[in-house]
Amino acid sequence: MKHVRTLLNICLLLLGLSPLIVFSSSLFPFTFPKTIYMQILIEIMAAGAALIWAREGVKWNVKNSVVAAFLIFIVVGFVAAIFGVNLHQSLWSDMARALGWIFWFHLAIFLILITSSLIDRVWWRRFIYVTTGSSMLMALIGVIQRRADFLPSSLQFTAEEFGTRVSSTAGNPIYLAAALVVMILAAPIFWRHANKIWQKIILSVGVVISLVALYFTNTRGSFLGLAAGLAVFGIVLGFMSAKGIIRRSIIAVVLLGIFFSGGILLARNTALVQKTPLGKIINSVTTRTITLGTRLINWKTALQGFAARPLLGWGPENYRFVNDQFYDPALARFSFYETRADKPHNMWLELLATTGLLGFLSYAAIYVAIITAVIKMKRAGQMGKIENAAILATLSGYAVQNFFAFETHVPLFLFIVLLAWIVRISGAVAVSALGTAGQPPTPPRNWRTLVAGIVSVAVIFSILMVNIAPIRASIFTSRGLNAADQSWEEASALFRQGLDIKTPYHFESWRWFADSLVDHGKAAARKEYLFTPTGQARFVEDVQILLDESSRLQKKYDNDPLLLAFVGRVFYHLGNLRHDATALGRAEEAFARVVVMTPHRQESYVLLGQVFLAEKKYPEAIATYKKAVDLDPSINAARWYLAVATYVSGDTKGAIPLITDAFDRGYYSHESASLRDVVSAVFMAAKDYTRLVALYEILVAEKDATAATWAKLAVAYKEAGRYNEARNAAVKAAQLDPAFQKETDEFIKTLPRSL
């Protein structure tokens, strides 16, 4: 058993590296690989623990109040999943989140293992060192991310996705900030138990780095969580101080901080405050911003979902069904992207909506168990004042920041480590490295050996089918996406390999395969992508493969609006590429079903209207877009599509005021070139050269603006009488593409000579 114990301890240390796990060859490289990595290591530890238990016996601590509370929450979550609206989604989630009940179940096993007699003090301390070190390194990467060209490409800072905010190995500023708050607030616990001065110094430097990284994330909910945690730390430490002057001083500092923050809040509109970083953060917290505006709407939706299913909710990870059922059309005022919410960005409300009152109370019971355990240990002298204050501060900060976020891998992992720390401090864990101290190994029992064998077989199956198979499919699909721009033949082979692997995440393999095929098919139609003869043959085969798979998925996801809409999009795009009336008909069926399930969502009507346009069913398209407009007349996108449908139906006169109104409300510059041509044609027909110029000025401001777009802007300037600008735009077109030089010279000759 010595080698088994060694393997178990090595897996424990490797788990401490979880915050740093990034695998760029996978889909969703910052989240999904972490799930697979952690699950495989926990399963190996479980198999080893079963063998040791069968041979020597192990002291488990499942009756400890903290461990028991967490296990009860896991059981309630499973019951909620069984009675929820989509068991598969509850168990597995999706690759992007990768936090289904199966992952939580693994965390429960992990908690049982690290609070048992399997892990002695030496290896536990090593695990804490590794976990703390990897968390600090994650923070350091966040600090240097914006200026470190030597980092791997997956960690290179890109302002396109998160602006100036950093994400490090967490992959998202919110995920990183949530982990840093836990790390910063829990640091006094580790600092208190550090035996050497150099350890305390490193930890102190790590806290400073973490604070800087947290600032760079610019995550308001985490700032509030940190502030709440620090306030609790100061208040608890102040009240526990023996000397009155120390107690009063600490409480005074806390109160001063609260008053200072209140003063900054009241003076947030002054020039002095607005120039400071804190002022910028405070002023960004407004219901008029997209982030907070959409979250307030989703919070209301979550409460409606709870009211509809109050006992066990809709099932873990099923919030998107709540959003579909109680969708608020006002979400589309921000963007259609913001309407596809799978999280309310409030973990507490998400628990209410997805696991009901039982799930919410069972999760809250974990906090109650922690607070109760901390109080008992303080009274028994098992915990010092700093540890006591730090644990309560971490708990408070974690709870507050979760009012503005949802659970993610690293903070959740650190939270589990905190639970284990509390259990181990209480003295409930045996400290011997070889089972019960001073006693010979427990003789094996037949039933224990049988259970250990079953666990080992289950672990092997799970590693191969639940973990390795999905990551293999993810790798093939990711490689296919990377290869598609160079060779469709190579990409097709990789996509098919990913699609052939049966996993709980099969939809992701199909989805990305379909997206890439549609994108490259469109590019080929625009002559921006060239298929080789072999690649063209593979492309034709792939279209049929995806059509067949889409037909199967249409039946499977008939009650899932989000996934059915994906299926409808694939039918729609493939139908357009092949001029296939049958595929367009299947798209119409899919979107019509989505409309029935989500009658308050404008996007559903817009998608159905697009199919009607492709099928040249203009009256149906116009009627559908009018329904979208009626849901919320302020939504520009719906008005825009209604205007286009009116124009292509032949009613140019009726289209002019509609398109003019839609354009004035805010033109959606990401629309397709064909729809842009409709706008320009209408403005040209109406001789509205001012708006025609405004349209092309928007288009040339885009990164991929072509010489043809500049040439059209030159014509618009000419018609508007802006001859100097017309000449400059024509020259720009020739600079971008020398093939336009002759046309440019001829165009300039048509301009008045006195410019």
Confidence of residue 339 (pLDDT cuts 50, 70, 90): low
User: Mean pLDDT, to the nearest integer, of 543-554?
Assistant: 94
How many Cα atoms occupy the beta-carbon half-sphere of 319 within 13 Å?
A: 26
| CA separation for the pair 118, 121 (Å, rounded) | 10
Q: Which residue has the tokens 């407009």?
A: 629
Confidence of residue 114 (pLDDT cuts 50, 70, 90): very high
Eight-state DSSP code of residue 327: -
Backbone angles phi, psi at 301, to 5 degrees: -65, -40
User: Mean pLDDT, to the nearest integer, of 321-349?
Assistant: 81
pLDDT at site 637: 73
Are 124 and 116 in contact, with CB atoms under 8 Å apart?
no
Q: How far is CA 95 from the centre of its chain?
A: 10
Q: Which residue has the tokens 């401001």?
A: 701
pLDDT at site 644: 85
Confidence of residue 212 (pLDDT cuts 50, 70, 90): very high
| CA separation for the pair 708, 396 (Å, rounded) | 58
| CA separation for the pair 321, 153 (Å, rounded) | 36
Over 50: is that where the pLDDT of 107 sits?
yes
Over 60: is that where the pLDDT of 441 sits?
no
Confidence of residue 591 (pLDDT cuts 50, 70, 90): very high
Q: How far is CA 419 from the centre of its chain?
A: 25
Eight-state DSSP code of residue 8: H
Are 171 and 30 in contact, with CB atoms under 8 Å apart?
yes
At 611-655, the pLDDT tens digits run: 999 999 999 999 999 998 888 776 667 788 888 889 889 888 888
| CA separation for the pair 556, 570 (Å, rounded) | 15
At 224-272, the pLDDT tens digits run: 899 899 988 988 887 776 566 665 666 666 566 655 555 555 555 566 5
pLDDT at site 392: 93
User: Mean pLDDT, to the nearest integer, of 18-44?
Assistant: 95
Q: Which residues contact 373 (CB under 8 A, 6 or more apart)?
A: 65, 66, 422, 423, 426
Are 397 and 185 in contact, with CB atoms under 8 Å apart?
yes
Return mean pLDDT, the chain: 86
Q: Which residue has the tokens 């623990």?
A: 49
The four Cα atoms 602, 604, 606, 609 give a dihedral, to 10 degrees, of -140
**Burial, 419: exposed, middle or buried (Cβ in 10 Å; 0-12, 13-18, 19+)?**
buried
pLDDT at site 370: 94
At 149-186, the pLDDT tens digits run: 556 665 655 544 555 789 999 999 999 999 999 999 99
- Closest to 44 (Cα-Cα) out of 74, 9, 92, 20: 9
Per cent of the chain over pLDDT 70 is 85
Q: Which residue has the tokens 């609790």?
A: 232
Eight-state DSSP code of residue 439: S
Q: Which two tokens stand for residue 498?
A: 């990913």
Q: List C-alpha distances in Å: 714 to 680, 692, 695, 719, 723.
A: 13, 11, 12, 9, 9
At 477-506, the pLDDT tens digits run: 999 999 999 999 999 999 999 999 999 999
Confidence of residue 435 (pLDDT cuts 50, 70, 90): very low
| CA separation for the pair 617, 487 (Å, rounded) | 37
Are 572 and 611 in contact, with CB atoms under 8 Å apart?
yes
Are 76 and 355 in contact, with CB atoms under 8 Å apart?
yes
| CA separation for the pair 610, 637 (Å, rounded) | 12
Detail the DSSP E strand segments found in 179-295: none
**Burial, 68: exposed, middle or buried (Cβ in 10 Å; 0-12, 13-18, 19+)?**
middle
How many Cα atoms occupy the beta-carbon half-sphere of 252 within 13 Å?
A: 6
**Burial, 427: exposed, middle or buried (Cβ in 10 Å; 0-12, 13-18, 19+)?**
exposed
Secondary structure element (H or E) that encloses residue 261, with its range: helix 244-266
**Burial, 677: exposed, middle or buried (Cβ in 10 Å; 0-12, 13-18, 19+)?**
exposed
Over 70: is that where the pLDDT of 281 sits?
no
User: Mean pLDDT, to the nearest integer, of 454-480?
Assistant: 92
pLDDT at site 538: 94
Detail the DSSP E strand segments found in 112-231: none
At 68-93, the pLDDT tens digits run: 999 999 999 999 999 999 999 999 99
Dihedral sign (CA 69, 74, 80, 82):
negative
pLDDT at site 84: 97
Pick 205 or 427 by higher pLDDT. 205
Confidence of residue 287 (pLDDT cuts 50, 70, 90): very low
SS3 assignment, position 164: coil
pLDDT at site 334: 61
Q: Which two tokens stand for residue 165?
A: 């905010």
pLDDT at site 609: 93
The four Cα atoms 416, 474, 11, 15 give a dihedral, to 10 degrees, of -30
